[in-house]
Chain A
Amino acid sequence: MALALALVLVPLALAAVAFALPSERWRPWLLPLGGAARLAMTAAAVSRPDVAALSGWLQLDALGKVLLLLLDVLFFVSALYAPSYLRLRASRDNRALCGCLLAFLGTSALVAQAHHLGLLWVAVEASVLATAPTVYFNRNTRSLEATWKYLLIGSVGIALALLGSFFLAYSAVHGGLGSSLLVEDLVRDAPRLSPAWLHAAFIFLFVGYGTKMGLAPMHTWKPDAYGEAPGLVGTLLAGGLTGCSFLAVLRFFQILQAAGQADFARQMMIAAGLLSMLVAGGFMVRQRDYKRLLAYSSVEHMGILVLGVGIGGGAMFGALLHLLNNGLTKGVLFLSAGNIHRAFNSKLTGDVSGALRRVPASGALFLAGFFAITGAPPFGPFISELTILRAAIRGDHAWVAAGFLVALTVVFLGMGANVLHIVQGEPRADRPATGFRDTALTVGPPLVLLGLVLLLGLYIPPPLQALLDEAASALGPRS
């Protein structure tokens, strides 16, 4: 009981401290402190079967544990990056950034544990609102525009998700069920839910939470927000917050699955997944801004996640593994891209070349991150994408598999052209060195994340394998 609440409340308390603390210099250290505290609590929570509170409204099941592990590893490692980064940006006030990131850490645990549909909605909305001010960190017109779009499109998505939640609740009222909105009760009584309302509910929920994930065609806020936010924030948005919305989609998929209506949801998810991958690929080919490039990569990988769930069977496991792989690799990419941005003072691909010479470690990490995210062996995403592809072929989805491969190829080419231009060659003469150099604290965190991505590609520890299996089996039979 205490642990379930502490996962949420400890980071929130630290967020309050961050807002109250006057020292610009010491405040960033609250991030690794909060990250370490949460990682320790999560480590204790994953091995226990009974983390719950508030009469079942909060429960930590296998799906929640997967998300919580990803969030906490990602947050802790990138928080170590924060103090040295924020010292470089000392001219900017970091109060809102530190406070809001810690608040997000707290609300994300609420998302991971919420088993009540209303609470789940409140938790996702709170996470979105908590992260909005962090996009505005640079305090200029461009980040203002990005924040406005992020807030407005995100709020519409979240309002549609609430409408969908109401539809789902009404399908229970219509089926003559009690007033419970707990996932367990709805899954148990799923066959009695009204199918017409259930279908309408899933449409609104998928569009609503899909907007927050950044699935095409509701992805338009993403390149702006990720492009203007600091790399540190990009990491947590692309790796963490999208996972929160994905978990919400999975919770509703669980209910449709139990109601025998999974085929309806699957078709929508396959279509949205392929569309996201292809749209992202198209924009990546023509992209000239390498942080926006990473945002489109995020759109692509959100597509892969829902595609995996849509294919089902073994791909369900692949999708959950890919959630981890994508999140960690995005950390490598956003943090190293942030370093390159600092070293060249530009985020346009045309301005930046020779990163391997000027910041060798960051350049190498960016290159390795590119190979990892595009599915090259021996990194983790290779394994998870292969798992999804194999399940697609085995499950008679030949044309889906073909589309998947085409999209991956387009993405590889589009992203490769940008990345190779950035890392190779000589730095341009009109882009003088900014004084930024690779240091242990700016290179170490992305290096650790890359190590984890490599580990997941070579060997999945048995406890993690068991956890992923358990989570996948909650989402349908493994055929």
Chain B
Amino acid sequence: MSRAVDPILVVVLLLNFLLLGTSRLRAVINATAAQGAALGTLLVAVHVETTWHTLLVAAGTVALKGVLIPGMLNKAMRDAAIRREVEPVVGFIPSLLLGGLGTGAALLFARTLPLAPQHVGSLLVSASLSTVLTGFLLLTTRRKAITQVTGYLVLENGVFIMGLLLVEAMPFLVELGALLDLLVAIFVMGIIINHINREFSSMDTAQLTALKEE
């Protein structure tokens, strides 16, 4: 594992806070794209030797998480002509605070888990859990369908970081499977977003309230 790993993880963590603190959808999508690209470089950094296989998967990760999916989301945002997340269930400052608390808790929890000798001292586990939590917060407290999808992407990014502890153990097929599944999931969500947009002429999931217990 090279020395570049922890600095990249710090960037990922800072992007988490940016995601939680901003109301502009474009900034949210761009931060998600930057995080996706950071994960691609991280994939190269955790490998001791750089092989063609690693570079290929890394390039795929950057293309998918950094370019393709954010591009789809940007297009959906333009089609729907919305720019801002308004009135989230939990405000921006409180969600920043929650994110900070969550990152602290993730650091503490990660210390209770024993690491293999080659990983001791690394931020990977705590960064992973903190990113998962950020994604979960975005997903549950924001109202726009696009922000919820970026929340899911960030959550997946967190899972991806955890997967980096296993690069030696995980065969190619599973890496590919995970990326492919992500693409299909976002694709299906994109279609549904389109329908929501057409049906309500907005992408506000706050309008999806017909189904509940009385």
Contact = CB atoms under 8 A, between A and B. Distances in A.
A163 B174 CA distance: 13
B181 A126 contact: yes
B192 A286 contact: no
Interface string A179-190: 101000000000
A347 to B, nearest CB: 12
Interface residues of A, number: 47
Contacts of B188: 129, 132-133, 151
A196 B181 contact: no
B211 A181 contact: no
Interface stretch (A220-228, A364-372, A462-470): A220-228
A129 B184 contact: yes
Given A132-B188, A174-B114, A194-B114, A118 B173 contact: yes
A172 B169 contact: yes
The dominant DSSP class at the A interface is: helix
Contacts of A144: 192, 195-196, 199, 208
A121 B185 CA distance: 14
B116 A173 contact: yes
Contacts of B163: 166
A132 B139 CA distance: 19
A155 B188 CA distance: 11
Contact of B159 (A148, A162, A228): A162
Nearest to B180: A122
A181 B213 CA distance: 42
Interface string B146-173: 0010001001101100110110111101
Given A147-B192, A196-B114, A142 B210 contact: yes
16 contacts: A119-B174, A122-B177, A125-B185, A141-B199, A141-B208, A147-B192, A149-B211, A151-B189, A152-B148, A166-B166, A170-B166, A173-B169, A174-B115, A197-B114, A223-B213, A228-B211
Interface of B: 112-116, 128, 132, 136, 139, 145, 148, 152, 155-156, 158-159, 162-163, 165-166, 168-171, 173-174, 177-178, 181, 184-185, 188-189, 192, 195-196, 199-200, 205, 208-211, 213-214
Interface of A: 118-119, 121-122, 125-126, 129, 132-133, 136, 141-142, 144-149, 151-152, 155-156, 159-160, 162-163, 166-167, 169-170, 172-174, 179, 181, 194, 196-197, 200, 223-224, 227-228, 283, 286-288
